[in-house]
Amino acid sequence: MTTSSTDNTLPPETPAARVRYGDKIVRCAPGETVLEGLLRAGAEIPYSCRNGTCMTCISRAVRGTVPAEAQKGIKDTLRGQDYFLSCICKPTEDLEIAPPEDADLFGRAAVTAVDHLSKNICRVRLTSATPLYYHAGQFLNLRRDDGLTRSYSLASVPSLEPYLEIHVKRLPGGQMSNWIYDDLQPGVSIDIQGPSGGCFYFPGNKAQPMLLIGNGSGLAPLIGIARDALKDGHTGPIHLYHGTQFSGGLYLDDTLRQMDADHGNFFYNACLSRGEDAECCHGRAEDIALADHTDLSDWRVFLCGYPPMVRDAQRRAFLAGAALADIYIDAFELRDLRTEPRE
């Protein structure tokens, strides 16, 4: 392989796989991912979470074979076309890779509604141009016309609504979230990719207790999962804990309290870590939930929102007896670290 731009930052004796991407060739050291190598060499490649979740960095192998683990979570049809995730691909041989073909990954959806639910969270409803098969709680990638791409979880339930619903939290400096909150209007069309993700309700074992914990807009997949379970006739108790700093962050409080009143097996707990409200629990949602439920043997647990909360609650739920296979997570990984904590 020859090119006008070759990465020579590794010492000559370092065994490495060469990766060609456009006009660059990089040498990935053992244990280094394709994405890490390309970013080190200054290549422009889309990415976000860097842990194999969001699918933003999906690429196509034009020459060479990628390790099987680099195709984890990718649809069979895309694996068959040699697509892989560059953020988890540790190459074992020389590769030539290329960006994905839009027609393979993206469809179009029309924005039908943008509703501001609080000072920093809005609800967006979309109608896909082609039928989309998904589970409540999975996520979509949204891509602007300039290529900026971000992931958002689905709050809608396919058997109940004809639209796709996502909840977007405005983040300080967030390019996509501020554009959606301030500028996106009904009638606009946007690219969508997905659905992806394994954090959703599985029918079966309808008497199994369920614990749902989320903070901020991590409520979106949880309310979808809860509604999907209730629609399916789940009979076991469903406990949902939604956490935020102040009461203004409880953006679907009335809806959840009505669900609590309407369903004898659904229990909603609003949790404030800083504010005071007589109708709310005081403390972090995960702390309150795991203090209320100290034995999670044979429970299903869903954890969504700020990554440190999700990882900590996952560990604590496991220690409380939940099987790892019964703990489903949706950590809202961000490309750029914020300077203010997520509510």
Question: Within this chain, do residues 229 and 323 fall inside the same structural domain, yes or no?
Answer: yes
Question: Within this chain, do residues 223 and 259 fall inside the same structural domain, yes or no?
Answer: yes
pLDDT tens over the chain, length 343 residues: 334 455 555 545 445 799 999 988 999 988 999 999 999 999 989 888 888 888 889 999 999 999 999 999 888 889 999 999 999 999 999 999 999 888 888 999 999 999 999 999 999 999 999 888 899 999 999 999 998 999 999 999 999 999 999 999 999 999 999 999 999 999 999 999 989 889 999 998 999 999 999 999 999 999 999 999 999 999 999 999 999 999 999 999 999 999 999 999 999 999 999 978 888 999 999 999 999 999 999 999 999 999 999 999 999 999 999 999 999 999 876 554 334 443 4
Question: Within this chain, do residues 127 and 93 fall inside the same structural domain, yes or no?
Answer: no
Question: Within this chain, do residues 278 and 297 fall inside the same structural domain, yes or no?
Answer: yes
The CA-atom distances, in angstroms, between 137 and each of 104, 110, 156, 229, 331 are 23, 20, 8, 11, 12
Cis peptide before 67 (omega within 30 of 0): no
Q: Tell me, yes or no, whether 336 lies in a domain.
A: no
The CA-atom distances, in angstroms, between 172 and each of 121, 145, 169, 175, 284 are 12, 22, 10, 9, 22
According to DSSP, the residues that pair with 190 across neighbouring strands are 109
Question: Within this chain, do residues 191 and 225 fall inside the same structural domain, yes or no?
Answer: no
Segments forming the whole domain that contains residue 159: 105-196
**pTM score:** 0.81
> Do the bridges between strand 281-282 and strand 266-272 make them parallel or antiparallel, or are there none, so unpaired?
parallel
Question: Within this chain, do residues 72 and 112 fall inside the same structural domain, yes or no?
Answer: no
Q: How far apart are the first and last CA of the chain?
A: 49
Residues 6+ apart with CB under 8 A from 202: none
Q: 313, 296 in Cβ contact below 8 A? A: no
Which CATH number do you get for residue 10? 3.10.20.30
Q: 267, 240 in Cβ contact below 8 A? A: yes
The CA-atom distances, in angstroms, between 299 and each of 15, 221, 295, 302, 318 are 47, 18, 9, 10, 10
Residue 273, CA atoms < 13 Å, CB-side half-sphere:
18
**Residue in 80, 87, 83, 75 with CA at minimum distance from that of residue 100:** 83
d(CA 272, CA 308): 17
